Amino acid sequence: MPWNKNDYPDAMKNLNKEVKEKAIEIANSLVEDGYEEGRAIPIAIDEAEKIGNTKNDEIYQLINQNDQWAIKKEGAERASKTFETKEEALKYGDELLAKKQIQLKVYKKDGALERTKKYSEK
């Protein structure tokens, strides 16, 4: 059953309208091409967010690195700051969101994308 703007995966619920619609379109296409739903959903979200990014948005990542949680600018080799817990890192990430026009991609310990927070979601 294809997804639509009223019936879509929970992973897409926090996306803005335009990104969500694009993610639904991409996910449906991937499933049609034979991808399993569990794999199609994160791919679709990632691709839709890339399309929805504006040039002014800086993208930061909250990742697990060497058993610590790190905030780093996407593409940077070194972390801006590291923390003992994910909660501390999220708090710092929220402070960045309040100060700058950024996106914060939050990853799980296993490296899978958990969610993306945007400056408008402060």
Q: Give the pLDDT score at 115.
A: 93
User: CA–CA separation, 114 vs 111, rounded Å?
Assistant: 9
Average pLDDT of the chain, as a whole number: 89
Q: Give the pLDDT score at 53.
A: 60
Mean pLDDT throughout 45-72?
84
Domain ranges of the chain: 10-52, 58-121
Q: Give the pLDDT score at 85.
A: 96
Best CA proximity match to 32, nearest among 44, 20, 50, 18: 44
For 109, how many CA atoms within 13 A lie in the half-sphere containing its CB? 7
User: CA–CA separation, 119 vs 62, rounded Å?
Assistant: 15
Mean pLDDT throughout 92-113?
90
Q: Give the pLDDT score at 120.
A: 57
For residue 1, is pLDDT > 70?
Answer: no
For residue 21, is pLDDT > 60?
Answer: yes
**Residue with the larger pLDDT of the pair 2 and 62:** 62
